[in-house]
């Protein structure tokens, strides 16, 4: 993405084994605000995300994007509705809760699988804390280990997660899961 001119840190090394993981090093990019101006925030986030998808290589050109991070593994082949937990103490497949949440998740998953949209490369952790702005211009995007290949509707859903109201889900609002099924 750096070579394509997208605002991201310059890689200093290639990916290298680091214990059971992979490590990279990149140049430090100082400064920037967490949010663009309030009256342009939604448009600025959307345009930056669309530019990322447009400038990204095709998935076949980038080996090694699998598996998706646990929170993005919605179409997993494992047992259970919900993807493997990142925190081994909480497995959503073992949590008792309102049935409508599982129903909404199942309906959204089934619609996305049936959609047959072509995979593109995008950022599945498109949060304000991973982006920095200079006014309304995107200065830099961080957290490049959150790149994944999926359909544009799925990636747009991940990007939307970063725009939820402050305090969600602690606010008790459940509109997102219900409206996700309606709009997928």
Q: What is the pLDDT of residues 114-172, one digit of tens each?
A: 987 899 999 999 988 999 999 999 999 998 888 999 999 999 988 887 655 454 454 44
Q: What is the pLDDT of residues 83-118, one digit of tens each?
A: 887 777 888 888 888 999 999 999 999 998 898 789
| 173 has a pLDDT exceeding 70 | no
The residues, any chain, with a CB within 8 Å of residue 116's CB and separated by 6 or more, are: none
Residue 59, class by beta-carbon neighbours within 10 Å (0-12 exposed, 13-18 middle, 19+ buried)? middle
Rounded Cα gap, residues 129 and 46, in angstroms: 16
Between 123 and 41, the higher pLDDT residue: 123
Rounded Cα gap, residues 151 and 120, in angstroms: 6
CA 161 from centre of chain? 8
Give the residue from 88, 68, 91 showing the smallest Cα distance to 79: 91
Question: How much is the average pLDDT of 6-15?
Answer: 92
Q: What global pTM score does this model have?
A: 0.78
């Amino acid at each position: 993405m750096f070579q394509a001119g997208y605002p991201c840190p310059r890689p200093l090394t290639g990916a290298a084994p680091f214990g059971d993981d992979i490590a990279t090093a990149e140049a430090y990019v100082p400064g920037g605000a967490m949010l663009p101006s309030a009256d342009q925030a939604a448009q600025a986030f959307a345009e930056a995300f669309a530019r990322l998808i447009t400038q990204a290589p095709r998935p076949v050109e980038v080996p090694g994007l699998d598996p998706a991070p646990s929170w993005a593994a919605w179409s997993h082949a494992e047992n259970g509705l919900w993807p493997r937990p990142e925190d081994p103490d909480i497995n959503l497949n073992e949590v008792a809760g309102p049935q409508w949440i599982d129903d909404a998740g199942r309906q959204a998953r089934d619609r996305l699988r049936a959609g047959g949209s072509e995979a593109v490369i995008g950022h599945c952790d498109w949060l304000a804390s991973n982006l920095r702005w200079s006014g309304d211009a995107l200065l830099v995007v961080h957290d490049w280990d959150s790149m994944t290949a999926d359909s544009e509707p799925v990636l747009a859903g991940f990007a939307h997660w970063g725009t939820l109201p402050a305090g969600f889900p602690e606010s008790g609002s459940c509109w997102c899961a219900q409206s996700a099924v309606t709009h997928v």
